[in-house]
């Protein structure tokens, strides 16, 4: 529930100074990686000015300032050409509610925004794992180390998966088209059974639906056969409408796992919100170097 602006009170001067100090430290450590949202820079300038009246008014409307840190994530000590970053949404509170002023500065809130190289589930888990008793720098370091470990595990997993595909044919990327796919249990099975066949990729459900699968050529064929005969065993044949649109050999995988992106890419349209945002899908694929596949599969 949103708190009435009148209920917010500015922190005591010494705590305001501590909070500003934390922001300044981040700016010193990451001068090129930090950006402020539309209002926060102005609020911070007011707080620095130590004008009590203006400061009290400012924090009633904006009790916490927001900034974004694009945290560099590299596995090797030296930055690689393909080094990645992880955007952190950081909220620094400068106000409190209630009648008693705090004796310690309120905790800075840090939220991890999902990058295109990490699954939604992994991002949520990383956020959930952040220790509550860490200070700001400790929290950022924890996130950085966890992200580095995630990338290292992906590299190891890719090497293992690519080795496993030797006996199941060349490493390929296959695109399947569905006129419509919406049943939750059927969608879940694509995600559930992919690891058993050492497959990665994504599912985009709706009208139309799109499935991209990476792995050994024979493994993909076996996987789709299993889905059609076992997972879809109770569906009439004329409802099992799925067609392979494109198959290509690839040197490496683009996706770390099999995941559904239906609710994370684009907006849903139609009376039942089941029509996909094909423009958003195209842009999403272009970001991953797969823009040409959109034309081959959906045009």
* 46 has pLDDT over 90: no
Task: Please report which confidence band the pLDDT of residue 144 belongs to, taking 50, 70 and 90 as the band edges.
Answer: very high
What mean pLDDT comes out for the span 205-234?
A: 86
Q: 13 and 135 share a domain?
A: yes
Q: 174 and 133 share a domain?
A: no
Domain of 37 in residue numbering reads as 5-156
Query: Which of 212, 214, 242 is CA-nearest to residue 227?
Result: 242
* 272 has pLDDT over 50: no
What mean pLDDT comes out for the span 184-201?
A: 87
Instruction: Please answer whether residues 240 and 232 qualify as being in contact, where contact means their C-beta atoms are separated by less than 8 angstroms.
Output: yes
pLDDT tens across 73-86, in order? Answer: 987 654 455 678 99
Domain boundary residue among 124, 156, 188? 156
75 or 226: which carries more pLDDT confidence?
A: 226
Instruction: Please answer whether residues 105 and 14 qualify as being in contact, where contact means their C-beta atoms are separated by less than 8 angstroms.
Output: no
Q: 152 and 10 share a domain?
A: yes
Count of structural domains, the chain: 2
Q: 146 and 177 share a domain?
A: no
The pLDDT score that the predictor gives to residue 199 is 93
214 or 267: which carries more pLDDT confidence?
A: 214
CA distances from 179 to 145, 192, 194 (A): 42, 22, 22
Residue 58 lies in a domain: yes
Q: 177 and 149 share a domain?
A: no
Q: 121 and 175 share a domain?
A: no
DSSP class of residue 79 equals P
**% the chain with pLDDT above 90:** 33
150 or 274: which carries more pLDDT confidence?
A: 150
Residue 163 lies in a domain: no
Q: 149 and 175 share a domain?
A: no
156 or 229: which carries more pLDDT confidence?
A: 229
Q: 237 and 123 share a domain?
A: no
Residue 162 lies in a domain: no
CATH of residue 177's domain is: 3.30.70.100
């Amino acid at each position: 529930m949103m708190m009435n602006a009148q209920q917010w009170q500015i922190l005591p001067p010494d705590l305001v100074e501590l909070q500003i100090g934390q922001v300044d430290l981040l700016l010193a450590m990451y001068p090129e990686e930090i950006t402020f949202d539309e209002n926060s820079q102005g609020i911070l300038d007011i707080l620095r000015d130590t004008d009590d009246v203006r400061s009290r008014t400012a924090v009633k409307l904006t009790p916490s300032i927001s900034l974004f840190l694009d945290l560099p994530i590299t596995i090797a000590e030296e930055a690689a050409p393909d080094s990645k970053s992880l955007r952190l949404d950081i909220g620094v509170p400068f106000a409190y509610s209630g009648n008693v002023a705090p004796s310690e500065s309120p905790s800075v809130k840090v939220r991890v925004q999902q990058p295109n190289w990490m699954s939604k589930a992994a991002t949520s888990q990383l956020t959930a794992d952040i220790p509550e008793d860490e200070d700001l720098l400790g929290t950022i370091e924890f996130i950085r180390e966890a992200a580095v470990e995630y990338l290292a595990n992906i590299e190891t997993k890719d090497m293992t998966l690519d080795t496993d595909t030797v006996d199941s044919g060349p490493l390929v990327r296959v695109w399947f088209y569905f006129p419509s796919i919406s049943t939750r249990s059927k969608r879940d099975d694509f995600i559930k059974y992919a690891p058993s066949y050492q497959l990665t990729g994504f599912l985009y459900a709706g009208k139309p639906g799109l499935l991209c699968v990476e792995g050994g050529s024979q493994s993909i064929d076996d996987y789709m056969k299993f889905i059609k005969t076992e997972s879809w065993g109770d569906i009439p044949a004329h409802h099992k409408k799925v067609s392979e649109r494109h198959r290509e050999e690839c040197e490496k995988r683009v996706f770390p796992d099999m995941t559904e992106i239906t609710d994370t890419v684009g907006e849903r349209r139609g009376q039942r919100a089941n029509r996909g945002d094909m423009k958003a899908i195209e842009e999403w694929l272009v970001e991953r170097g797969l823009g040409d596949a959109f034309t081959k599969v959906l045009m």
